[in-house]
Protein backbone atom coordinates (compact mmCIF):
# COMPACT_ATOMS: atom_id res chain seq x y z
CA UNK A 1 0.00 0.00 0.00
CA UNK A 2 1.52 3.41 -1.03
CA UNK A 3 2.08 5.97 1.75
CA UNK A 4 -0.57 8.66 2.25
CA UNK A 5 0.37 12.24 1.21
CA UNK A 6 1.41 14.60 3.95
CA UNK A 7 -1.63 16.57 5.32
CA UNK A 8 0.13 19.91 4.72
CA UNK A 9 0.79 19.03 1.07
CA UNK A 10 -2.88 18.10 0.63
CA UNK A 11 -4.03 21.37 2.21
CA UNK A 12 -1.68 23.45 0.05
CA UNK A 13 -2.88 21.62 -3.06
CA UNK A 14 -6.53 22.36 -2.21
CA UNK A 15 -5.82 26.03 -1.46
CA UNK A 16 -3.92 26.46 -4.73
CA UNK A 17 -6.79 24.86 -6.69
CA UNK A 18 -9.37 27.11 -5.03
CA UNK A 19 -7.26 30.22 -5.69
CA UNK A 20 -6.91 29.32 -9.38
CA UNK A 21 -10.65 28.63 -9.73
CA UNK A 22 -11.58 31.92 -8.03
CA UNK A 23 -9.14 33.87 -10.23
CA UNK A 24 -10.55 32.25 -13.36
CA UNK A 25 -14.14 33.01 -12.27
CA UNK A 26 -13.39 36.68 -11.55
CA UNK A 27 -11.75 37.25 -14.92
CA UNK A 28 -14.25 35.21 -16.94
CA UNK A 29 -17.49 36.13 -15.19
CA UNK A 30 -19.91 38.01 -17.50
CA UNK A 31 -21.53 39.74 -14.55
CA UNK A 32 -19.77 42.52 -12.75
CA UNK A 33 -18.32 41.73 -9.36
CA UNK A 34 -18.81 45.08 -7.70
CA UNK A 35 -18.77 45.12 -3.93
CA UNK A 36 -19.29 48.88 -3.56
CA UNK A 37 -21.09 51.19 -5.94
CA UNK A 38 -19.86 54.74 -6.54
CA UNK A 39 -23.32 56.34 -6.96
CA UNK A 40 -21.88 59.85 -7.36
CA UNK A 41 -19.55 58.93 -10.20
CA UNK A 42 -20.86 60.31 -13.49
CA UNK A 43 -18.03 59.48 -15.88
CA UNK A 44 -16.29 56.37 -17.00
CA UNK A 45 -13.20 55.10 -15.12
CA UNK A 46 -11.16 55.10 -18.34
CA UNK A 47 -9.72 58.60 -19.04
CA UNK A 48 -11.74 60.51 -21.63
CA UNK A 49 -14.54 57.96 -22.06
CA UNK A 50 -18.11 58.84 -21.14
CA UNK A 51 -21.36 56.91 -21.44
CA UNK A 52 -24.76 58.52 -21.99
CA UNK A 53 -28.34 57.23 -22.17
CA UNK A 54 -31.27 58.77 -24.05
CA UNK A 55 -34.77 57.52 -24.80
CA UNK A 56 -35.55 56.97 -28.47
CA UNK A 57 -38.91 55.17 -28.22
CA UNK A 58 -41.73 54.87 -25.68
CA UNK A 59 -43.64 52.00 -27.33
CA UNK A 60 -41.80 49.69 -27.27
CA UNK A 61 -39.53 51.31 -24.69
CA UNK A 62 -35.99 51.75 -26.02
CA UNK A 63 -32.89 53.66 -24.97
CA UNK A 64 -29.84 54.65 -26.97
CA UNK A 65 -26.52 53.98 -25.22
CA UNK A 66 -23.60 56.05 -26.50
CA UNK A 67 -19.93 55.73 -25.55
CA UNK A 68 -17.86 58.80 -26.48
CA UNK A 69 -14.06 59.07 -26.56
CA UNK A 70 -13.21 62.64 -25.54
CA UNK A 71 -9.51 61.93 -25.04
CA UNK A 72 -7.47 64.20 -27.36
CA UNK A 73 -4.83 61.59 -28.27
CA UNK A 74 -5.67 58.06 -27.14
CA UNK A 75 -7.42 55.39 -29.18
CA UNK A 76 -9.06 52.71 -27.04
CA UNK A 77 -9.90 49.11 -27.86
CA UNK A 78 -12.52 47.73 -25.49
CA UNK A 79 -14.25 44.45 -24.73
CA UNK A 80 -18.05 44.92 -24.78
CA UNK A 81 -18.83 42.07 -22.36
CA UNK A 82 -20.90 43.09 -19.31
CA UNK A 83 -21.16 46.73 -20.45
CA UNK A 84 -24.14 48.63 -21.91
CA UNK A 85 -22.66 47.91 -25.37
CA UNK A 86 -23.09 44.16 -24.82
CA UNK A 87 -26.09 42.60 -26.58
CA UNK A 88 -26.65 40.58 -23.36
CA UNK A 89 -26.51 43.63 -21.06
CA UNK A 90 -30.15 43.35 -19.94
CA UNK A 91 -29.73 39.68 -19.09
CA UNK A 92 -26.48 40.10 -17.16
CA UNK A 93 -27.63 42.82 -14.77
CA UNK A 94 -25.81 45.82 -16.25
CA UNK A 95 -28.98 47.93 -16.13
CA UNK A 96 -31.08 48.63 -13.06
CA UNK A 97 -34.66 49.90 -13.32
CA UNK A 98 -36.75 51.61 -10.66
CA UNK A 99 -40.35 52.80 -10.71
CA UNK A 100 -41.33 56.45 -10.29
CA UNK A 101 -41.73 55.87 -6.54
CA UNK A 102 -38.25 54.33 -6.23
CA UNK A 103 -39.10 50.61 -6.13
CA UNK A 104 -36.68 48.32 -7.94
CA UNK A 105 -38.07 46.41 -10.91
CA UNK A 106 -37.15 42.78 -10.30
CA UNK A 107 -34.83 41.30 -12.91
CA UNK A 108 -33.57 37.82 -13.61
CA UNK A 109 -29.80 37.87 -14.04
CA UNK A 110 -28.55 35.08 -16.27
CA UNK A 111 -25.09 33.59 -16.46
CA UNK A 112 -23.85 33.75 -20.04
CA UNK A 113 -21.31 31.31 -21.48
CA UNK A 114 -18.82 33.23 -23.60
CA UNK A 115 -16.76 32.02 -26.55
CA UNK A 116 -13.01 32.38 -26.06
CA UNK A 117 -11.09 34.26 -27.16
CA UNK A 118 -13.60 37.12 -27.53
CA UNK A 119 -14.74 37.25 -31.18
CA UNK A 120 -14.19 40.39 -33.31
CA UNK A 121 -17.81 41.57 -32.93
CA UNK A 122 -17.29 41.80 -29.14
CA UNK A 123 -14.39 44.27 -29.52
CA UNK A 124 -14.85 47.97 -30.26
CA UNK A 125 -12.19 50.52 -31.25
CA UNK A 126 -12.75 54.20 -30.38
CA UNK A 127 -10.43 56.82 -31.83
CA UNK A 128 -10.27 60.32 -30.27
CA UNK A 129 -13.50 62.24 -30.90
CA UNK A 130 -15.40 59.14 -32.04
CA UNK A 131 -18.39 57.40 -30.47
CA UNK A 132 -20.29 54.15 -30.71
CA UNK A 133 -24.00 53.65 -29.97
CA UNK A 134 -26.36 50.74 -29.40
CA UNK A 135 -30.13 50.61 -29.10
CA UNK A 136 -31.40 48.74 -26.04
CA UNK A 137 -34.98 47.46 -26.30
CA UNK A 138 -36.70 46.92 -22.95
CA UNK A 139 -39.80 45.06 -24.18
CA UNK A 140 -39.00 41.32 -24.18
CA UNK A 141 -35.99 40.89 -21.97
CA UNK A 142 -35.20 39.73 -18.46
CA UNK A 143 -35.56 43.40 -17.48
CA UNK A 144 -39.06 43.66 -18.95
CA UNK A 145 -40.95 46.67 -17.70
CA UNK A 146 -44.53 45.76 -16.89
CA UNK A 147 -47.10 48.49 -17.13
CA UNK A 148 -47.16 51.98 -18.55
CA UNK A 149 -45.59 54.83 -16.65
CA UNK A 150 -42.26 56.43 -15.83
CA UNK A 151 -39.18 54.51 -14.81
CA UNK A 152 -35.56 55.34 -14.05
CA UNK A 153 -32.77 53.38 -15.74
CA UNK A 154 -29.14 53.33 -14.60
CA UNK A 155 -26.14 51.25 -15.60
CA UNK A 156 -23.00 50.33 -13.72
CA UNK A 157 -20.27 47.75 -13.78
CA UNK A 158 -16.65 47.15 -14.64
CA UNK A 159 -14.83 46.81 -17.93
CA UNK A 160 -13.72 43.21 -18.45
CA UNK A 161 -10.95 44.29 -20.81
CA UNK A 162 -9.52 47.44 -22.38
CA UNK A 163 -6.34 48.66 -24.05
CA UNK A 164 -4.97 52.11 -24.98
CA UNK A 165 -4.09 50.77 -28.44
CA UNK A 166 -5.55 50.43 -31.92
CA UNK A 167 -7.56 47.27 -32.62
CA UNK A 168 -4.91 46.11 -35.11
CA UNK A 169 -2.33 46.04 -32.29
CA UNK A 170 -4.38 43.67 -30.12
CA UNK A 171 -3.11 40.11 -30.51
CA UNK A 172 -4.93 36.83 -29.94
CA UNK A 173 -2.75 36.43 -26.85
CA UNK A 174 -4.04 39.81 -25.58
CA UNK A 175 -7.62 38.66 -26.12
CA UNK A 176 -7.07 35.42 -24.20
CA UNK A 177 -5.61 37.48 -21.34
CA UNK A 178 -8.16 40.33 -21.45
CA UNK A 179 -8.54 40.19 -17.67
CA UNK A 180 -4.93 41.37 -17.36
CA UNK A 181 -5.34 44.32 -19.76
CA UNK A 182 -4.59 47.82 -18.47
CA UNK A 183 -8.24 48.86 -18.06
CA UNK A 184 -9.73 45.55 -16.87
CA UNK A 185 -11.62 46.32 -13.66
CA UNK A 186 -12.12 50.03 -14.42
CA UNK A 187 -15.59 51.07 -13.32
CA UNK A 188 -18.30 52.73 -15.36
CA UNK A 189 -21.47 54.38 -14.06
CA UNK A 190 -24.27 55.93 -16.09
CA UNK A 191 -26.48 58.28 -14.11
CA UNK A 192 -30.16 57.46 -14.24
CA UNK A 193 -32.33 58.60 -17.12
CA UNK A 194 -36.12 58.71 -17.16
CA UNK A 195 -37.76 56.10 -19.38
CA UNK A 196 -41.41 56.55 -20.32
CA UNK A 197 -43.39 53.44 -21.23
CA UNK A 198 -46.60 53.92 -23.23
pLDDT of residue 38: 31
pLDDT of residue 73: 96
In CATH, 49-197 is 2.60.40.2970 = yes
Q: Is 180 exposed, middle or buried (0-12, 13-18, 19+ CB in 10 A)?
A: exposed
pLDDT of residue 60: 87
pLDDT of residue 31: 37
Mean pLDDT by 10 residues, the chain (198 residues): 62 60 47 32 74 91 94 97 93 89 84 91 97 89 69 93 96 95 93 88
Alpha helices in the chain (DSSP H): 7-28, 172-176
pLDDT of residue 147: 78
The pLDDT tens digits for 102-145 are 888 888 788 888 999 999 999 999 999 999 999 999 876 545 66
What is this structure's pTM? 0.73
Which of 194, 186, 192 shows the shortest CA–CA distance to 83? 186
pLDDT of residue 91: 85
Amino acid sequence: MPPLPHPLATLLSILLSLTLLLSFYIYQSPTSLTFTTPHLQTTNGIPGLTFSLSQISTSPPALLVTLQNNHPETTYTLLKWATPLDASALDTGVFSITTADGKAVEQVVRRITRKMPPPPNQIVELAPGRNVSREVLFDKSAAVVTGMGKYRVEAKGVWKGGWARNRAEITTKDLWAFGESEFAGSRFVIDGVEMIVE
